[in-house]
Chains A and B, each alone.
Chain A
């Protein structure tokens, strides 16, 4: 199981990335992360909503209440241009970290023995 600190750090880029594929609502977003992680990321579902609300307050996403195809009221979230930008930045950070780790752990560790 992935430790809590890492979960907390990754929620933001995860949500932005999911919304980058198109607008969605809370349950679906959470379910998607759940499916993707294959249960390795664990949290209490309710605490993810405040994260969405914060992203909204920051102007990275916008929300609107709408009736879904099955007739239930749902609050849909969609990425704003500012959100796109934020996602690009996040992407860069994570890829940098990823590259560093990969460099250290890869088939020919560049720093090994140095």
Chain B
């Protein structure tokens, strides 16, 4: 017989504590406090003569039962500090449940390896693409934002309108390459303006310290205010004075190292163009990659001004400057803009002859991604249209991956209907089920995120070479990248998981457990719609990619109107010695057996060319003044490039000595501009241009002297061998290396003070399409990946649907259906869906691609053949994907399938 155990107060209290401790409403300290209360009370009751057991009962009764206390404690629980710290965990799920969800999630993922693989790898691919695109877009949008005053800096734009009261032209008509005079005038007249800085560049100079000369292009003359406006960090030198005096130069670190190695360049001199000594007055940090400036060195603008004719700095019509304006803090650009017309009238109103001059301010942030501002920019120019296409592709890819994810999860979860039913019967609340499924998809998404990071890191070298160096590891190492990736994964996980979570958790357990569900139609339409959307997107991307390539091909196959091949261009950068010995030099090079022709010129198609105010006598006998491009050329330019004359004759200074002072050639576009529909009528008309007067001697058939992005614009040619910069040799390209080596030897003998710089005309002309080419390559890579991800998803869906129809297939087979019949039956749905998707995609692609093509002056007719190509290839890929599954199902042993379920 067991003796009843003696009452032990401590044991009793411990037993009393236990249920409280397990309840989340009570924190450990709360229970301690209550226990101490009980002990006090019991002490007192015992002092009154009660025995321990009775005292314990009495005290606990007064304390109240858990059911009474819990709601009160629960009410104040959220106000307690220690709890707030773990609040976010609490919000998601109770910790123990969280652990349980995680376990189940991992178990489910492990059990269905194929599904997990498709889901994770598809999402990882999508995330990686989207991350890289996101970083690229972010990089492109971050241009010039590192200047402290970035939001107060504006670029001065200008344009002309025809007529005295012309309306303001569209934004795209404004150019950044303008005159020197408006800048200082602005600073004088506008109290809102804090500083103005002008840059002048786009030329070449020869710079040398001792013996080795380098030809420099990325240099600018700049006002001394440049360091007050921009954050070009001066590592050495005084920003206030560095560019204040004539003949001073500030080098970037890289340029300083190039000329001075480890020596201190401060106060040292460099010789410019073999005559001017420049004193180094500062060293500035190299510019970051995300700025629209390409600057290796800055020279004081007074260096330029003191040797330039007065009109260059005083005229509002002479174009060779970029002006940037820093507004005072708190000043509104709109106020300044509103006052610009009055300012112009006051300053130059009396000089304007039946035309209107416009100025505008463009925020610095827009300088890189603004519309095309004409041929000359300070540095590189982004393409906003391509960038938004890119961003769209990124979103599309993420969308495809997300849809996949949702589809696969939903499809998979149908098979888990029974699990849901059982859980519900056991007592799982809907909230818990939702949490469980969300947990699963978030775990999947996070796994995909890790994989995506790896993929992105691996693909960066490849992308780096495809994109021309925009993608670097540094991009990936930024916290922004990680945050972006994490946010994307979380959002996709939650969004993609929410649909299956809500659908699944809503199952009626009775229906599900009876087994009715796997045959239900619920969710089929949504899934089909999502798959359809994926294919719309894939087709769009495919057509877009092919379209870009077709257009590039079209551009390359265009007849340029001049002989661009085998033209070797030697650049002497307006060197005086070369110009003085031009004829001798051309004879020397022309005598080389591999050289067929040699000529000199200042500009050639695709290269830099100035604008010139040009007046030609109109049909009414009055001089009609227009501004358009000018090529200053040497003898033989026209035959050398194989240009066609439509009227008159080409320059021939031997037969017509006046050609070097009184003759002008124009192209058909220029003739039309001056009002001559028939080019022959322009020949013999008077002209005035840049100090020359005489007659138009010939009209050239239009040739592409700029780029195929633009229609052919008016152009004039004048004979000016002393202004030339390039020697152009038409060479036999057989054994080119040897020819080049020999030419270099000749060059060095003739001009020992000059570096031998050469390029090929066709290559430089093609370089204008390099951006498109890069874009095309990147775009095709990403759209290929998108298609792949979409197919992964299709594969998953096909697997699932065939699985669902296992029994049907078995029955059909037993009844005599053949394998092809079955495959047809199973593929029918997909094909119908695809056809619908293609119709939608085609119409969208038609509008999208047409708009993209519109930016080219030479655009192909809309390539409808692309629709066929895209349609057939997508259909083929999709059917291949599906047929693997359907074939397997159709050839399976019906006995097995009939035993299924």
Binding site for B on A (CB under 8 A): 25-28, 30-31, 44-47, 49-51, 53-54, 57, 65, 72-75
Contact = CB atoms under 8 A, between A and B. Distances in A.
Given A28-B40, A44-B68, A72-B39, 8 more contacts: A26-B36, A27-B40, A44-B62, A44-B65, A45-B37, A54-B79, A73-B36, A75-B36
A50 B33 CA distance: 11
Which of A26, A30, A44, A46 gathers most chain B CB within 10 Å? Answer: A46
B63 A26 contact: no
Nearest to B44: A31
A3 B29 CA distance: 31
Contact of B36 (A31, A50, A57, A74): A74
29 contacts: A25-B36, A27-B40, A28-B40, A30-B37, A44-B62, A44-B64, A45-B37, A45-B62, A45-B64, A46-B34, A46-B37, A46-B64, A46-B72, A47-B72, A49-B30, A49-B33, A49-B37, A50-B72, A50-B73, A54-B79, A57-B79, A65-B29, A72-B36, A73-B32, A74-B36, A75-B29, A75-B32, A75-B33, A75-B36
Contacts of B29: 65, 75
A30 B68 CA distance: 17
A88 to B, nearest CB: 23
Interface string B67-94: 0110011011001100000000000000
A27 B37 contact: yes
B41 interface: yes
Interface in B18-57: 29-30, 32-34, 36-37, 39-41, 44
A72 B35 CA distance: 11
A45 B41 CA distance: 10
B68 A47 contact: yes
Contact of B79 (A25, A31, A53, A75): A53
Which of A25, A28, A49, A74 gathers most chain B CB within 10 Å? Answer: A49
A93 B786 CA distance: 71
A79 to B, nearest CB: 18
B601 to A, nearest CB: 84
A74 B62 CA distance: 19
Contacts of A57: 76, 79-80
A98 B73 CA distance: 32
Interface string B511-544: 0000000000000000000000000000000000
Interface residues of B, number: 23
A45 B63 CA distance: 5
A54 B63 CA distance: 18
A50 B76 CA distance: 6
A28 B62 CA distance: 15
A24 to B, nearest CB: 12
A44 B63 contact: yes
Contacts of A28: 40
A80 B529 CA distance: 64
A30 to B, nearest CB: 8
B76 A53 contact: yes
Interface in B268-320: none
B41 A27 contact: yes
B36 A54 contact: no
| For the complex of A and B, 5 pairs with smallest distance between CB atoms | A44-B64, A57-B79, A27-B40, A50-B72, A46-B64
A11 to B, nearest CB: 11
Contacts of B68: 44, 46-47
Contacts of B73: 49-50, 53
Nearest to B25: A50
A72 B62 CA distance: 21
A27 B68 CA distance: 18
A76 B40 CA distance: 14
Contacts of A75: 29, 32-33, 36
A26 B37 contact: yes
Contacts of B37: 26-27, 30, 45-46, 49
A54 B584 CA distance: 101
A25 B44 CA distance: 15
A46 B76 contact: no
A79 B34 CA distance: 21
A43 to B, nearest CB: 8
Contacts of A45: 37, 41, 62-64
B34 A49 contact: yes
B61 to A, nearest CB: 9
Nearest to A75: B33
Contacts of A72: 36, 39-40
Contact of B69 (A26, A44, A54): A44
A46 B69 contact: yes
Nearest to A27: B40
B45 to A, nearest CB: 12
Contacts of A50: 69, 72-73, 75-76
Nearest to B33: A75
Nearest to B41: A27
A23 to B, nearest CB: 15
Contacts of A30: 37
Given A50-B76, A57-B79, A26 B62 contact: no
Which of B64, B65, B69, B72 gathers most chain A CB within 10 Å? Answer: B72
Contact of B63 (A46, A51, A53, A65): A46
Contacts of A53: 30, 73, 76, 79-80
